[in-house]
Amino acid sequence: MATTQFGKETSERGEFVRQANRFTQRITADGSSGWRAEPGRYRLVVSLACPWAHRSIIVRRLLGLEEAISLAVVDPIRDEKGWRFTLDEGGRDPVLGIEYLSQAYLATDPEFTGRVTVPSIVDIESGTVVTNDYPQISLDLSTQWREFHRPDAPDLYPADRRAEIDEVMDPIFRNVNNGVYRCGFAGSQQAYDEAFTALFGELDRLTERLSGQRYLLGDTLTEADIRLFTTLVRFDAVYHGHFKTNRHKLAELDVLWAYARDLYQTPGFGDTVDFDHIKRHYYVTHDAINPTRIVPLGPDLSGWDRPHGRA
């Protein structure tokens, strides 16, 4: 492994390698994990800019867990200490009483030296991190917090379709969710070319799949749609230019553009998107890619509200 000028780990071939999640304990309905699902006990820390955190924000909203799990939003701009609570009065989270998410990480593991990531779920009483395992967080919100879902909450990860959902989500993660980062943080031309080809190959396959059905699993909204949406909604605003994923803009891919607008206009999706946070985070934080830290004024985002014709 090597560290690129972007501060990211790369393989010998210059391929971006995502850091493993450090805290992977689970919050379960029966508490058998050591952490029981209890309203008011935990705080979900997110960045509105981060697609991995955005998944948990959407799931929390769709399931009606806002009262059960409180939400802390960090500043979209990280400094040398990581994610900051500068959006809160006094620069301190009002519930956890900390200025940086890293303080909760070090309270949990004083030897921690990796990157502090969002989403993270923090136990309010102890101030320690239960989990930053973003793929599992959203699944557990669906499966382990059922007692606290709103009465008409959707089943985003139904037991009888989990294998099918997992099969769909795997290449989406590899080629799209993580694929845009593999393009943006590639340390060699070959690594970039391979990631670019895999990304648009997958988008072409998804276009074919979605050309005859409303959602990835047919007529039912699932976790898979949420995971794809959080990348698509950032595509034209940041990935197309900043990460060089520029074969096409999302707005030029008719099926995926209509599909993304359909989700955006669904309560719980578009109302959790903050394009200002998204653009400022990517263009200011990744100063090795954008050393001037100039945040572009475009693209025109008004098209997200246009009729999508998929209902």
Binding residues for glutathione: 83, 115-118
How far apart CA 77 and CA 114 sit, in angstroms, is 18
**Which of the residues are catalytic?**
50, 181
| Contact yes or no for 140/27 (Cβ under 8 A) | yes
Burial class (CB in 10 A: 0-12, 13-18, 19+), 60: buried
Q: How far is CA 284 from the centre of its chain?
A: 18
Contact 136, 20 (CB under 8 A): no
Q: Are 76 and 48 in contact (CB under 8 A)?
A: yes
Copy the structure tokens of residue 166. 């997992």
Q: Write out the binding residues.
A: 83, 115-118
> Pick from 215, 216, 133, 209: which is nearest to 169 by CA?
216
Closest CA to 214 of 309, 307, 310: 310
Residue 210 φ/ψ, nearest 5 degrees:
-85, -5
Taking alpha carbons only, the member of 190, 197, 162 closest to residue 176 is: 197
Using the Cα atoms of residue 217, residue 221, residue 223 and residue 224 in order, give the sign of their dihedral. positive
